[in-house]
Structure 1
Amino acid sequence: MTRYAVAVDVVVFDLETTGLSPERDGIVEIGALRVVDGRIDETQRYETLVRPTTAAGDPMLIPWHAERVHGISNEMVRHAPTIDQVLPEFLDFVGGSAVVAHNIGFDGGFMRANAARLGLMWQPAAEHCTVVLSRRAFPKERAHNLTVLADRLGLNFAPGGRHRSFGDVQVTAQAYVRLLELLQRREVSPVASR
């Protein structure tokens, strides 16, 4: 095992939402892939649309400005399961693994808020962020959003995949693996020392 053990077994995930507030907005899509021993396992995937609801469980509409970003409409989620149906299943998929996201503060915040509302626990083994890894790998660069990072690493989104959970997860997983390899070659720790 290398000293870059963060790559051993992780679930890379991405959410699409109705807005930016974990307390006021809802999740409309979850996508995830498992990385095992530093390799992406496309057979271990999780992907679902989610019909958004308020904290009280009432239906929530997807605002036009959110739909403009991810392209997920109210019609698309009309018959989708709600977060109270989806989240226990997703937590089972994650199991005891560490998780990775591009901007983990955003996605992790939504997971914590929704789990708390439902009396569940969001307790991944660890949370890793590809934005942080990108900053460590490319310290002189200012931009680290997923589109820029994909370009920097020579990665491509599937047609129609950008700003959809599974399309973003595929690129985030590839970026995660490549960033760890790059940092290892440079002998730079993937995590900041404290």
Structure 2
Amino acid sequence: MTLVRHCRFSAIDFESAGAARGKTDSPVQVGLASWALPDGHADPFVSYLQTDSPIQWSARKVHGIGPEQLKDAPALLMLWPEFRKRMAGAVVVAHGKGTEKRFLRAFPGHGFGPWIDTLLLARAAWPHLADHSLGALCESHGLTNAIHTLVPEKSWHDALFDAVASLVLLAYVVESHDLADHPVESLLQPDTSRWHQFKRS
């Protein structure tokens, strides 16, 4: 049984090209960052990613990434040493982990995990909130300035900014709910039953 205070957490976020009809989506940027008690935030990494898929207008409208940023960018598979260094042995964090887990299938048998989904964690912690998107949660709890301090000159839908934001949100949940001395397993499958009740009402 490992306590939260003894874990290293590594967050990951991908921005994507957007899925065209009948095509598979692909990542165009990845951000990685770490957080631990009591060391704090560390080890940020961000990179654009080479893709053969055209960036859809709907995706570019969200993240602002175009072909000009991807010129000379590495392919995802070339970054395996960075992923292994930052994520091996860590508890992996993402907000709505489905996209991140899907893109990591590029590394078969990578073994990263266990995973904490801060979307599910936030729904369990604050089931009454109407909006559990990462930006809305950080705004409602006054966390956005702290994120800007850690990741200056970046903003929402930059992969590094969003990765750091998920860690800032996780740290806030741990602090506000006094979870540092709880088993990390308590964060892996949070009880979202009250959120489902609010959603149905």
Normalised by the shorter chain, which TM-score bucket? 0.7 to 0.9
The CA distance in 2 between the partners of 1:87 and 1:29, in whole Å, is 14
Cα shift readout 1:53-84 (whole Å, capped 9, x = no counterpart): xxxxxx22212211111111111101111112
Choose the corresponding residue for 1:115, options 107, 110, 116: 107
Residue of structure 2 equivalent to 1:10: 9
TM-score for the superposition, normalised by structure 1: 0.80
Residue of structure 2 equivalent to 1:99: 92
Residue of structure 1 equivalent to 2:77: 84
Residue of structure 2 equivalent to 1:174: 168
Give SS of 2:157's match: coil
Give SS of 1:140's match: coil
Residue of structure 2 equivalent to 1:29: 29
Give SS of 2:53's match: coil
The CA distance in 1 between the partners of 2:102 and 2:94, in whole Å, is 11
Residue of structure 1 equivalent to 2:133: 145
CA positional deviation for 1:38? 5.3
The CA distance in 2 between the partners of 1:7 and 1:65, in whole Å, is 41
Residue of structure 2 equivalent to 1:56: none
Residue of structure 2 equivalent to 1:163: 157
8 Å CA contact retained: 2:49, 2:70 = yes
Give SS of 1:31's match: strand
CA positional deviation for 1:105? 1.8
CA positional deviation for 1:163? 0.3
CA RMSD of aligned residues (A): 2.6
CA positional deviation for 1:183? 2.4
Bigger relative contact order (CA 8 A; separation at least 6): 2
CA positional deviation for 1:33? 0.9
The CA distance in 1 between the partners of 2:156 and 2:78, in whole Å, is 26
The CA distance in 2 between the partners of 1:27 and 1:160, in whole Å, is 19
TM-score for the superposition, normalised by structure 2: 0.78
The residue type equivalent to 2:60 in the other structure is E
In the alignment, structure 2 segments of 5+ residues that lack a partner are: 192-201
Residue of structure 2 equivalent to 1:55: none
Q: Identity over aligned residues, as a percent?
A: 24
The CA distance in 1 between the partners of 2:6 and 2:49, in whole Å, is 29
CA positional deviation for 1:36? 2.0
Give SS of 1:184's match: coil
